[in-house]
């Protein structure tokens, strides 16, 4: 039986990232996944600033930029009553390409200047969309926004991280983990099936990482899976081409027929779009809603039907579950750590999970490194990971949960979008909040709500 320092079940962003971190530290890592890469993964395909910060640390940001993707410059919101606002991410100041600690970057082009190195057709595309330009006080100088994130199909995005992980770990694709090896109260390895040969195999390790997604077998085998419809989003999506009116902003629409869920349109490369809807499982059951029918209703809504008049789906509608971080669970124990969606770290308001998946891999890698060096993979030793999650991730998840609940209130949604459409101060606050420059809690504070009502 083969032995490793660490076995990672699941080669999505979290599993691949921790394999890179630990492999670069010199540990022997076995990375297992039931799929063969590249593979599709049902998702909204949004890649946030939090994701990009970890990717930059891993040295993968330029590789992601080189893939087929769409740049993300802001967010378009519309309220149940139909008011729409396009919130562009904030700009940084300066005469050259700059990058803030958070949010996006901007490039200043003076009269007669050439395109900055590396921008190429991206600059050309921006120049064609006046909404993505802002005038600098200096005459004839234009500030061009550089994205704060991307929309990238998971088939493409995940494969970039996976290919790097292959350089730093032993990888077996098409391997289905079926069970855990547990001895003396410690997880000691995994058992599973090689799907290509149908051969049963077992592998042992000092520590096992569960990064096997929303339907994690690892968490089920450990008795940590505790589904709750009030903390689970069900979503469906399809890829389209020919959707009219797309800009460099992702779109989130609160449509009357699918409240308290929302409808999204995320631009992809070459004029394609990721189109879908999401809703809490508890609300979906209460409304007895069929999500495929609800998505068809949203597309035919008067606000959007002209945009889909010449559009056509290029994939079938597919659904998936998103275990939200609004209900946290135990994610460590004797000989194991759980990451990403398997750890229920998805943002309750945006439904975005890649950022926290990558960030959890970063946090866990340091804890695992220390535990292996000390030869102590006990629950007590690994509890540092849980403490880091509570400190670094939980406050943001709690605020997003409060925002999710506030988003169920029609009059509040209508009021905030109405006021923001007319109020520059509110637009700036929303922009900086979305770019992670301002604490999300500001948006649900009594002071903000009172100012919104009085503005």
Q: Can you tell me the distance from the alpha carbon of 199 to that of 268, in angstroms, rounded to the nearest whole number?
A: 40
Task: Find residue 323's DSSP bridge partners.
Answer: 232
Domain boundaries, the chain: 2-64+153-227+325-397, 90-147, 229-322, 406-454
Q: Can you tell me the distance from the alpha carbon of 362 to that of 11, in angstroms, rounded to the nearest whole number?
A: 15
Q: Can you tell me the distance from the alpha carbon of 50 to that of 14, in angstroms, rounded to the nearest whole number?
A: 13
Alpha carbon separation from 143 to 73, 190, 412 (Å, rounded): 13, 54, 34
Please give the structure tokens belonging to residue 171.
């990888």
Give me the CATH code for the 2-64+153-227+325-397 domain, please: 3.50.50.60
The verdict on pTM exceeding 0.95 is no
Task: Find residue 313's DSSP bridge partners.
Answer: 240
- pLDDT (tens, 9 = 90+) of the chain, 455 residues, equals 789 999 999 999 999 999 999 999 999 999 999 999 999 999 999 998 889 999 999 999 999 999 989 988 889 999 999 999 998 877 532 332 223 333 443 333 333 333 333 333 333 333 334 333 333 333 343 444 556 789 999 999 999 999 999 999 999 999 999 999 999 999 999 999 999 999 999 999 999 999 999 999 999 999 998 889 999 999 999 999 999 999 889 999 999 888 889 999 999 999 999 999 999 999 999 999 999 999 999 999 999 999 999 999 999 999 999 999 999 889 999 999 999 999 999 999 989 999 999 999 999 999 999 999 999 999 999 999 999 999 999 999 999 999 899 888 899 889 888 888 888 877 877 777 766 666 677 776 777 667 666 66
Cβ-count burial of 196 within 10 angstroms (0-12 exposed, 13-18 middle, 19+ buried)?
exposed
Which option is the CATH number for 229-322: 3.40.30.10, 3.30.9.100, 3.10.180.10, 3.40.50.300?
A: 3.30.9.100
Does 229-322 match 2-64+153-227+325-397 at the fold level?
A: no
């Amino acid at each position: 039986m083969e032995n490793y320092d660490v076995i990672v079940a699941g080669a999505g962003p979290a599993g691949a990232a921790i394999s890179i971190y630990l492999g670069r530290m010199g540990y022997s890592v076995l990375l297992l996944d039931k799929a063969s890469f590249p593979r599709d993964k049902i998702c909204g395909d949004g890649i946030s600033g939090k994701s990009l910060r970890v990717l930059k640390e891993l040295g993968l940001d330029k590789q992601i930029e080189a893939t087929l993707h769409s740049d993300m410059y802001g967010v378009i919101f519309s309220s149940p009553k139909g008011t729409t606002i396009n919130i562009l991410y904030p700009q940084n100041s300066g005469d050259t390409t700059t990058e803030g600690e958070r949010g996006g970057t901007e490039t200043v082009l003076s009269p007669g200047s050439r395109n900055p190195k590396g921008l190429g057709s991206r600059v050309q595309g921006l120049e064609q969309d006046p909404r993505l330009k802002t005038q600098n006080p200096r005459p004839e100088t234009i500030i061009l926004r550089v994205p704060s994130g991307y929309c990238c199909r998971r088939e493409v995005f995940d494969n970039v991280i996976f290919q790097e992980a292959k350089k730093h770990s032993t990888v077996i694709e098409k391997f289905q983990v079926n069970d855990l090896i547990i001895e003396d109260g410690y997880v000691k390895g995994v058992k599973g099936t090689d799907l290509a040969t149908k051969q049963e195999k077992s592998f042992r390790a000092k520590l096992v990482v569960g990064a096997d997604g929303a339907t994690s077998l690892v968490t089920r085998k450990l008795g940590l899976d505790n589904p709750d419809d009030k903390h689970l989003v069900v979503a469906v999506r399809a890829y389209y081409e020919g959707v009219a009116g797309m800009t460099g902003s992702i779109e989130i629409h609160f449509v009357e027929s699918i409240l308290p869920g929302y409808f999204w349109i995320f631009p992809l490369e070459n004029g394609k779009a990721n189109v879908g809807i999401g809703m809490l499982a508890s609300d979906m059951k209460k409304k007895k809603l069929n999500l495929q029918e609800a998505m068809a209703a949203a597309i035919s809504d008067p606000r959007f039907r002209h945009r889909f008049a010449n559009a056509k789906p290029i994939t079938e509608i597919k659904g998936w579950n998103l275990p939200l971080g609004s209900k946290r669970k135990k994610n460590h124990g004797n000989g194991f750590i759980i990451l990403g969606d398997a750890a229920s770290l998805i943002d309750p308001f945006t439904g975005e999970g890649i950022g926290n998946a990558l960030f959890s891999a970063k946090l866990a890698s340091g804890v695992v490194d220390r535990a292996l060096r000390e030869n102590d993979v006990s629950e007590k030793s690994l509890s540092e990971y849980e403490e880091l999650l509570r400190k670094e991730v939980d406050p943001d998840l709690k605020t997003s949960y409060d925002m999710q609940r506030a988003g169920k209130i029609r009059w509040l949604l209508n009021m905030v979008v109405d006021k923001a459409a007319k109020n520059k101060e509110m637009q700036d606050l929303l922009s900086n909040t979305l770019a992670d420059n301002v604490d999300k809690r500001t948006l649900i504070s009594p002071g903000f709500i009172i100012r919104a009502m009085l503005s």
